[in-house]
């Protein structure tokens, strides 16, 4: 646990295990992992399209939130521009994986395999990050926030005008994953089993997200990850202990852009495989920021929880029509309801629990642990002398 506690300075007690596949190390971790896997299998088999749709969207959003968390949560570089990199990734995917133009004037598409377009989306976004980084990273704090905000608008302008790739303001078709004969958009039976589109996506997204989460989790406990967090906590201090500030910031920026590109390609591809340039707007970027803040700054699980809250909740409310019909006449939509909730939650969390839901959970578990230990001491040889209550009794 000792090196896990240095993971964040904001929460002294960390519930996270310290080995790479650390979930398997503790009894509680094993139970959690097993329970989680069983729950996922159950949802996959019996969840139905509604639940799967929500889960899939949440998983893609979680990837983007994770990417933002690398930059803003772990490295402390405020970015409002994640949708720019998502857009770059999505259009790279569309260019490489999209269908061949049917009519002259259709946006280009090379119809390549997912094994090319998905990694390429990440790589091109990362390259863009490397290109933008040196300019953007000269600035910090508020200035960086504004420049990344400007990036979103510059992105929207570029996407609307690069018609050959983006299809102009009307948008274009994005590739859906396909493996050989199997296409996710019109599934065919594989080994005699016919799965729905949502199930196939689920099968693709779950391991992908797990891989990303594990990777980020491990990077953050490596030399590079510690450098990121040192930069966040105290830039001067980090420089003094030998962290190359520019290098650390650039790697965080590029790493984050890479994941954002992949998340963007999937975001455009699912569900429906159609998106307009306006998809990559500032509101979406702020939603990812909200997800990161509500879930937990500098936390992998926090990113997933936050994405579930900000993106899953409105979808769930809509799908299962949980909003009473009488109030929906006044214009109350699920999106508004959840926006009010996360707007309020951001303020409350920033005030009382800056590390988000995950920080709250950690605090509660550490409290429980402390009570447990105290109970053990009480039942032991003697009461703690420093507590007068014990002496009284």
Partner 1 sequence: MAYFIQLAFAGLAQGCIYALVALGFTIIFKSSGVINFAQGEFLLVGAFIASVATFEWGLNFFLAVFIALLITVLIGVLFERFALRYMIGRPAFAIIMITIGLDILLRTGVVMTGKANERPPATPYGIASGVNYGGVHFGENALWTILVTLICCVALYIFFRYTRYGLAMRAAAIDQEAALAMGVNIRLVYALAWGIAAAVATIAGIFLAINVTTFDSTLGSIALFAFPAIILGGLDSIPGAVVGGVVIGLVQLLTQGYESHIANFVGIGFDTITPYLLMIIILLVRPYGLFGTRKVERV
Q: Which residues bind partner 1 (CB under 8 A)?
A: 72, 76, 78, 135, 138-143, 145-147, 149-150, 153-154, 156-157, 160-161, 169, 282, 286, 289-290, 293, 330-332, 336, 339-340, 342-347, 350-351, 354
Residue nearer to partner 1 on the CB measure, 316 or 345: 345
Of 242, 265, 246, the C-alpha closest to 254 is 246
d(CA 361, CA 372): 16
Q: What's the closest the beta carbon of residue 331 comes to partner 1, in angstroms?
A: 3
Residue nearer to partner 1 on the CB measure, 88 or 204: 88
Q: Which residues pair with 178 in a beta bridge?
A: 183
Residue nearer to partner 1 on the CB measure, 182 or 323: 323
H/E stretch holding 182 reads: strand 182-183
Q: What's the closest the beta carbon of residue 282 comes to partner 1, in angstroms?
A: 8
For the chain, the residue count is 393
Residue nearer to partner 1 on the CB measure, 270 or 349: 349
Q: What's the closest the beta carbon of residue 149 comes to partner 1, in angstroms?
A: 7
Inter-residue contact 87 to 341 (CB < 8 Å): no
Q: What's the closest the beta carbon of residue 79 comes to partner 1, in angstroms?
A: 10
Q: What's the closest the beta carbon of residue 168 comes to partner 1, in angstroms?
A: 9
d(CA 388, CA 393): 9
Residue nearer to partner 1 on the CB measure, 165 or 282: 282
Q: Residue 104, Cβ neighbours under 10 Å: how many? A: 5
- Tell me whether strands 172-173 and 274-275 are parallel, antiparallel or unpaired: antiparallel
Residue nearer to partner 1 on the CB measure, 114 or 145: 145
Q: What's the closest the beta carbon of residue 132 comes to partner 1, in angstroms?
A: 10
d(CA 100, CA 103): 9
Residue nearer to partner 1 on the CB measure, 72 or 199: 72
User: What residues contact 141, with CB distance under 8 A and at least 6 apart?
Assistant: 78
Q: Residue 313, Cβ neighbours under 10 Å: how many? A: 19
CA triplet 134, 140, 145: central angle to 5 degrees? Answer: 95
Q: What's the closest the beta carbon of residue 140 comes to partner 1, in angstroms?
A: 6
| Distances from the Cα of 286 to the Cα of 82, 119, 155, 281, 339, angstroms | 9, 25, 15, 9, 11
d(CA 12, CA 28): 20
């Amino acid at each position: 646990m000792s090196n896990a506690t240095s993971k964040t300075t904001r929460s002294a007690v960390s519930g996270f295990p310290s080995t790479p596949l650390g979930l398997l190390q503790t009894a509680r971790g094993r139970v959690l992992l097993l329970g989680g896997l069983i729950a996922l299998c159950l949802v996959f088999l019996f969840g139905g399209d509604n639940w799967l749709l929500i889960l899939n969207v949440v998983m893609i959003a979680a990837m983007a939130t994770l990417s933002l968390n690398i930059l803003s949560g772990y490295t402390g570089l405020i970015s409002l521009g994640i949708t720019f990199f998502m857009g770059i990734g999505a259009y790279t995917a569309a260019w490489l994986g999209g269908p061949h133009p049917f009519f002259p004037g259709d946006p280009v598409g090379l119809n390549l395999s997912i094994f090319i377009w998905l990694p390429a989306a990440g790589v091109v976004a990362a390259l863009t990050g490397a290109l933008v980084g040196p300019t953007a990273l000269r600035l910090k704090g508020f200035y960086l926030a504004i420049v990344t905000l400007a990036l979103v608008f510059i992105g929207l302008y570029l996407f609307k005008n690069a018609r050959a790739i983006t299809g102009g303001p009307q948008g274009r078709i994005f590739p859906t994953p396909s493996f050989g004969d199997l296409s996710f958009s019109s599934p065919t039976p594989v080994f005699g089993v016919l799965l729905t589109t949502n199930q196939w996506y689920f099968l693709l997204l779950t391991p992908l997200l797990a891989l990303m989460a594990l990777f980020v989790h491990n990077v953050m406990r490596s030399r590079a990850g510690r450098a990121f967090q040192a930069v966040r906590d105290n830039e001067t201090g980090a420089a003094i202990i030998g962290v190359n500030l520019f290098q650390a910031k650039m790697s965080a920026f590029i790493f984050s852009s890479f994941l954002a590109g992949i998340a963007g390609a999937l975001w455009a591809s699912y569900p429906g495989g159609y998106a307009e340039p306006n998809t990559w707007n500032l509101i979406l970027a702020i939603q990812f920021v909200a997800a990161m803040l509500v879930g937990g700054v500098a936390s992998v699980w926090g990113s997933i929880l936050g994405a579930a809250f900000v993106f899953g909740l409105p979808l769930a409310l809509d799908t299962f029509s949980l909003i009473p019909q009488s109030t929906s006449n006044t214009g109350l939509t699920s999106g508004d309801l959840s926006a009010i909730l996360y707007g309020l939650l951001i303020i409350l969390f920033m005030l009382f629990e800056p590390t988000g839901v995950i920080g709250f959970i950690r605090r509660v578990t550490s409290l429980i642990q402390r009570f447990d230990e105290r109970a053990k001491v009480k039942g032991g040889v003697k009461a703690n002398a420093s507590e007068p209550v014990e002496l009284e009794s």
